């Protein structure tokens, strides 16, 4: 039996780059708008989509909390569009991703977000479900809408433990 334990890493743009983009307004200089009454943090992440009649859509998610250690048995991916999650508060949440190994998920990696950070999973990236910790949390979700099958799920033969 192989080691099925995954340590949680801090979420950084460099560590997450193989899986997508970290959404963090601290990464860009704000620019003024509305005659200086607002600051815009522009171009934090692209949300590309593919497929005929695909479009970017915005939704809201209210997620129930998980506790650690977490038993990870399911991951999913979206072959027709990226998927971004932006928290509505500064609470951290867990981000789980897997490299693709011949169409199947490889060994998972787990990240914990910093205050206000979000993520944009690249097209086709294997990832865990939305995982707030210790308390319910609300998110904006920006992803693909339109025809076509844009969800693949994978159940691991043996769960992973994230702590």
Domains of the chain: 5-162 (2.60.120.480)
pLDDT digits (tens, 9 = 90+) for 48-61: 999 989 999 999 99
pLDDT for res 10: 97
Q: Which residues of the chain have pLDDT under 70?
A: 1-2
CB neighbours (10 Å) of residue 132?
22
Q: Which residue has the tokens 């590309």?
A: 48
pLDDT for res 162: 97
pLDDT for res 1: 53
pLDDT for res 136: 96
pLDDT digits (tens, 9 = 90+) for 97-120: 999 999 999 999 999 999 989 999
* Contacts of 52 by beta carbon, 8 Å cutoff, 6+ apart: 146, 147, 148
The residues that bridge with 90 in the sheet, in sequence order, are: none
Q: Environment class of residue 113 by beta-carbon count within 10 Å: exposed (0-12), middle (13-18) or buried (19+)?
A: buried
């Amino acid at each position: 039996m192989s080691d099925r334990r995954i340590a949680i890493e801090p979420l950084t743009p460099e560590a997450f780059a193989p899986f997508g983009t970290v959404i963090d307004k601290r990464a860009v200089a704000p620019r003024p708008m509305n005659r200086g009454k607002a600051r815009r943090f522009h171009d934090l992440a692209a949300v590309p989509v593919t497929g005929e009649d695909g479009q970017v859509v915005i939704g809201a998610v209210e997620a129930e909390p998980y506790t650690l250690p977490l038993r990870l048995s399911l991951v999913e991916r979206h072959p027709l569009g990226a998927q971004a999650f932006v928290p509505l508060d500064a609470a951290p949440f867990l981000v789980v991703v897997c490299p693709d190994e011949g169409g199947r998920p490889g060994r998972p990696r787990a990240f914990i977000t910093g205050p206000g950070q979000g993520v944009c999973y690249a097209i086709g990236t294997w990832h865990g479900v939305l995982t707030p910790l210790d308390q319910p949390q609300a998110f904006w979700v920006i992803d693909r809408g339109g025809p076509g099958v844009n969800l693949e799920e994978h159940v691991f033969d043996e769960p992973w433990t994230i702590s």
